[in-house]
Structure 1
Amino acid sequence: MDRINTPAIDSATGPTAEVYAQIKKAAGSVPNTFAVIGAHGPAALKAVLNADGVLAGGSLNKQELETIKLVVSVVAGCDYCVAAHSLLGKLTGLPQDVLKQIRDGQPTGDAKRDALIRFVRVIVQTSGTISVSEFDAVKAAGYSDAQLVDISLAISVTSFTNIFNRINDTTVDFPAVA
């Protein structure tokens, strides 16, 4: 149950209405988390959407992006984002069993994906500079310097929505995951 009041999407005006229209055009509807953020911080929502646009045109493929976003959300304990990125991951072609393995912290059988998952978990679960061995492992898996930038951006954007949803207890409007 949302803690922050959200006016009806259809009653939005100004910058909020503009960003909602952009989302509706792209996705068909406005997910609850975007509705709440947009109602009270349209510039913040626009920044999230702009960052996602940068990532979409960046060096990582859609499956890699959804893998990162799912791992970050699982570590954060954000039920909303776990459900969202499980569905979005499925839409990119990630099989259900792989999505479950990612959520459960199990190997997926894909060495490059598993290296990405490990790297993202280390970044999110630890503080300070990562070890040389962690850096070398993600580079050995085939991730470029440009991809490390995009991985960092994906983690940052996902962390924002995770934190906001944890504050708001946003009502999940995606299929629940076990």
Structure 2
Amino acid sequence: MAIPDITSATGATADIYARVKKISGGRVPNTYAALGYLVPASLAAVLDAQGTLNSGSLSRQEHETIKLLVSEKTGCDVCVAAHSFVGKLVGLPVDSLRAIRAGQPTGDARRDALVRFVSHLHSTSGTTSEDEFNAIRAAGYTDIQLAEISLTIALGIFTNTFNRINGTDVDFPPVK
């Protein structure tokens, strides 16, 4: 879908674009531009949920680890590029970003437990076993953080699916 020039947006779309610009340094990524154009309330919900997560107990690196892994597994090239870029900005080493995408160890035990847990959730169905919960809890994750992990996964899957349906153009540096 072609996204109209964001400077010509009016009403709810213009309002949500202004909100995105305020939190992203003046830029409106293509995913947000398309979603804001089509359903401004959905983009507002995404931003509200992300704001809730940002004030939670998971670090930005943990959020980007989850989003990058889910994006890779879902096959969203836009989000893989975005979360690789943002992952670097929040301090994830390039080697770790590659390992996360491949589902391989990063050398950080807590991050690796998170990758294993999210991979398990993404690739299985049904109730998660007590062994899986014990492993993620042994890595230091609390029940509150498990809820935050769930919301981070859900937001990732939403934007991944939207981009795949929309055919959103990648507007972040390519991933090597």
What range is the shorter-chain TM-score in?
over 0.9
Task: Specify which structure has the bigger relative contact order, considering alpha-carbon pairs within 8 angstroms and separated by 6 or more residues.
Answer: 1
Residue aligning to 1:9: 6
- Identity of aligned pairs, percent? 61
Q: Which runs of 5+ in 2 are unaligned?
A: none
Residue aligning to 2:132: 134
Residue aligning to 1:120: 118
- Quick one: distance in 2 between partners of 1:75 and 1:132? 24
Residue aligning to 2:46: 48
Alignment of 1:25-44 (within 5 A): 25-27=22-24, 28-44=26-42
Q: How far off is 1:56 after superposition?
A: 0.3
Q: How far off is 1:165 after superposition?
A: 0.5
Q: How far off is 1:5 after superposition?
A: 3.3
Identify the match of residue 160 of structure 1 among 146, 158, 161: 158
Q: 1:80 and 2:75 equivalent?
A: no
Matched residue pairs, number? 175
Provide TM-score, normalisation by structure 1.
0.96
What are the Cα deviations for residues 7-56 of structure 1, in whole angstroms up to 9, with x where unaligned?
11011111110110111122121000000000010000000000100000
Q: How far off is 1:103 after superposition?
A: 1.0
What are the Cα deviations for residues 119-166 of structure 1, in whole angstroms up to 9, with x where unaligned?
001111111111111111001110001000100000001110000011
Question: How much is the aligned-residue C-alpha RMSD, in angstroms?
Answer: 0.8
Residue aligning to 2:175: 177
- Quick one: distance in 2 between partners of 1:12 and 1:62? 31
Q: 1:71 and 2:69 equivalent?
A: yes
Q: 1:21 and 2:18 equivalent?
A: yes
- Give the secondary-structure state (helix, strand or coil) at the position aligned to 2:23: helix
Moved over 4 A (4+): none
